[in-house]
Amino acid sequence: MAGKPLRCISVGKLKTPFWKDAAAHYLTRIKRWRHLEYTEVRDGDAALPPDQRNALEGRRIVEALAPQDVALVLDERGQKLSSPELAALLRRLDQEARGRACFIVGGAWGLDDSVRQRAFKVLSLSDMTLPHELARVVLLEQIYRAECILRKVPYHH
Q: Label residue 108 by pLDDT band (50, 70, 90).
A: confident
Contact 79, 124 (CB under 8 A): yes
pTM assigned to the model:
0.93
DSSP for the chain reads -PPPPEEEEEES---SHHHHHHHHHHHHHHTTTS-EEEEEEPPPPTTS-HHHHHHHHHHHHHHH--TTEEEEEEEEEEEE--HHHHHHHHHHHHHSS--EEEEEE-BTTB--HHHHHT-SEEEES-SS---HHHHHHHHHHHHHHHHHHHHT--S--
Quick one: pLDDT at residue 156?
Answer: 63
Average pLDDT over residues 34-54: 93
Q: Rounded to the nearest 5°, which phi and psi values hold at 80?
A: -90, 130
> For residues 28 and 44, what is the distance between their CA atoms, to the nearest angstrom?
29
Average pLDDT over residues 15-27: 96
For 29, 38, 59, 146, the CA distances from 35, given in Å and listed in that order, are 11, 10, 26, 14
- The answer on pLDDT for 106 being more than 80 is yes
Quick one: pLDDT at residue 155?
Answer: 78
Percent of the chain predicted with pLDDT > 90 = 83
Better pLDDT: 10 or 96: 10
- The answer on pLDDT for 157 being more than 60 is no
Average pLDDT over residues 14-36: 95
Q: Which of 8-12, 25-29, 55-59, 151-155 has the lowest mean pLDDT?
A: 151-155
